[in-house]
Amino acid sequence: MKKIYTLAAAALLSVTAVAQSPFWTSTSYKGAFPITDGITGTTSNDWTAGWANFDPQITVYPATTQTISGSITSQTWSPSNTYLLTGTVAVASGNTLTILPGTVIRGDKNSKACLIITKGAQINAQGTVTSPIVFTSNETSRNPADWGGVVLLGNGIVNTACSTCPTNPNTNNIEGFATVFPEIAYGGNNNAESSGTMSYCRIEFAGVALSTTANSELNSLTMGGVGSGTKIDHIQVSFGGDDGFEWFGGAVDAKYLISFRTLDDDFDTDYGHAGRVQFGLIVRDKDISDVAGDSNGFESDNSGGTGLNRLPVTKTIFSNITCIGPKRDGTVALPVGEKFERAIFTRRNTAISIHNSIMVGWEKGWHVSGTPAFDNYNANTNLDSLGLVQNTIIASNLFPKFVHDAGGANATWYNAYAGINSIDTTKSVAQIAFVNAFPTELYDPSDFRLTANSTASNGASFSGPQFSGQVTGVKSIVNENLKSFVIYPNPANQSTSISFNIIEKNKVTTNVYDVLGNVVSTLSQSNDFEKGNNTIIINTSNLSSGIYYISLDVNGAKETKKLIINN
C-alpha cells in the first residue's frame, strides 16, 4: 500500500552536502562512525572491523626469514616470508616496492630501521580487510619507538627549503636524520604525482629517535611532498614514538586513518599541505605523552622561524574525525608530569579546516595561536587562506574549550565564531553516546559507533568552499535500502511529490537545499517510513523560482536529486 504524506516547506536548519565529487562522502552524522547497524565483524558499518588491532603488544608475529637493508630496486614481498628491515632501507627512484596482502615486515631496533619510498619511487602495499599488511617491531617485548617507521617522499609542492636545498621549486630534507643523503630529499612542482598505494596497513611501535638531536624522531607514517595521485586509506598507526601521521607539503588525500596510543601529535600538517582527510579515529593513552614538548590531537603549522608567510599556506581539510583524548569520558585522572594539551592546535599561519568532528577527553579544546593564524580563521570567505572549524562538537568535558594568547583570538571572538560555525561546546559524552568507546582498558573490545539517540547522529555539514563540487553520497549503502527515488512533477510550480521505495521500514530524513548547499526546508527528520512505496507531497509555493536539491537520507545513507521550481 502506498503511503502519502503532505508537508510544507519548513524553517532553516543545519547544512548537509549536495555537491558531487569522487572524494568526500556525505554523512548525516558527526565523527568517524555512523549509528550502529547492530552487526559486528567485517560486514558491519564499523570500518575498523577485521583489519585494525587495538592490542598489538600481545600479537604473535612470525619470526623473520629475510633481511632487507640499504638501497633496493623493484621487489615483491609476500606473506611466505617475514621481512627484517635493518638500517635505512630506501626504494630507489624509478622503482616500485610491492607488498602483498598479509605480509609482515619487522623493524630492527639496534640499527634504527626505517623504510623510505624516495622521490620518484612507489610503494604498492594493498592489504585487505582480512589480510592487512603489518609493519611492526622485531623486539620480543614491543614498545613505542622500537624502530623508525614508513616515510613516503614525492615531488609535490612544499613552501620551504633547507638552507642548502634548491628553492625553485622548493626542496627539503625529511626531519630526523643525523646526516644528509639524497634519499631523504622531497619536494618539487607536481602536486598530482603518485607515490603509490597504501591500503589496509598497520604501522606499530615506530618513531625511534635517529640521533641525540632534539626532534630527531621519525613519525609512524611520514609524508613529504606526496602528491594527490597517491592512494592512502585504512592505515592504523599504534604506539608511535612521535607523531602518528605527519604531512609536509604536497596534496595527498587520505581516508580511514587510526592513530592509537601515540606519543606526540596524532595528525600533524606543515609546509603547505593541501590535501583532504576524511574518517579518522584518534585514541590517546593517559600514560603516553611527549615529555619533551606537548601532545595534541591536531597540530598544524604553515612554516617556522621567519618564513610564516610562505605560500602555499597549509590548508588541509579534515572531516569526520573522532578524537578521544587521554581523559576519555572524563573519569580518567592524568598522571603527574603529563604533557597533554589541546584537541586542536593551530599556529604559525596555518589555515587547516576541521568539519563534522567530535573532540572529547582533552584538557583543552581549540587554540588559535598568534596573529597570522588568527587572521586566517577571522578571514573573509573569499580569501585563499581561509581556515574553518565548523559543525564540530568540543565536548563539555574539555576545559577550557578555547585557549587564547596575544595573537588576536579571545573569549569573545571564540564564542561568536562558535555560534556562527556551529561549534557545539554543550554536549556531554553521555549525549554523544558512543556504543562502547571507553572500555576498562584501551586494549579491551571497543565500538566507536554511535547509538540511535546520539546528539552527533545528525547535523553534519558539507557546504561551503572547502566542499564545493567535491561531495558524493553513500551510494553503496543507499542502494541496499532504496529501490527508487523520483521527484514529479519536475519542474514544479505550486507543489511536487517525492516518491521512494524502501526495502524495509527505516528512518528517513528529507531536506531541500539551495544551490549553495543551504538547507531551506526539512521535510522529515529521522521519521519512520514503512516498507514499500512512500510519497511526500511538498507545497513549494513559498519557494522562489530556481534550482534546488532534494536529499533523501535512509538510515544514514544519502542520495540527492535536482528539483527545478518555476513559480
Place of cell 590535501: 275
Q: Are strands 254-260 and 276-283 parallel, antiparallel or unpaired?
A: parallel
**Rounded CA gap, 342 and 324, in Å?**
11
Is the Cβ–Cβ distance between 11 and 525 less than 8 Å? no
Mean pLDDT for 454-466 is 88
pLDDT digits (tens, 9 = 90+) for 67-113: 999 999 999 999 999 999 999 999 999 999 999 999 999 999 999 99
Kindly report the length of the chain. 567
Q: Which of 209, 179, 170, 210 is nearest to 307 (CA)?
A: 170
pLDDT at res. 515: 47
Q: Which residue has the higher pLDDT, 63 or 534?
A: 63
Instruction: Give, as one character, the DSSP assignment of residue 437.
Output: S
Task: Determine the pLDDT at residue 381.
Answer: 60
Q: Which helix (H) or strand (E) holds 478?
A: helix 475-481
Residue 77 belongs to what H/E stretch? Answer: strand 75-77
User: DSSP assignment, residue 414?
Assistant: H
Q: What cell numbers appear for 123 in the block? A: 610503494
Ranges 160-164, 172-176, 516-520: which has the least confidence? 516-520
**Which one is predicted more confidently, 472 or 119?**
119
The grid coordinates listed for 165 are 636545498
Amino acid of residue 556: G
Q: What is the pLDDT of residue 401?
A: 96
Residue 92's identity, in one-letter code, is: A
pTM: 0.81
Contacts of 397 (CB under 8 A, 6+ apart): 327, 329, 330, 360, 361, 428, 429
The C-alpha cell at 408 is: 588576536
Contact predicate 439/445, CB 8 Å: yes
Cβ-in-10-Å burial (0-12, 13-18, 19+) of 164 comes to exposed
Residues in contact with 424: Cβ distance below 8 Å, sequence separation at least 6, in sequence order: 392, 393, 394, 418, 455
- What DSSP element (H or E) covers 412? helix 411-420
- Percent of the chain scoring above 90 in pLDDT: 69
Tell me which of 73-77, 244-248, 504-508 is least confident.
Answer: 504-508
Confidence of residue 286 (pLDDT cuts 50, 70, 90): very high
pLDDT of 17: 30
Give me the half-sphere count of Cα atoms (radius 13 Å) on the Cβ side of residue 118: 18
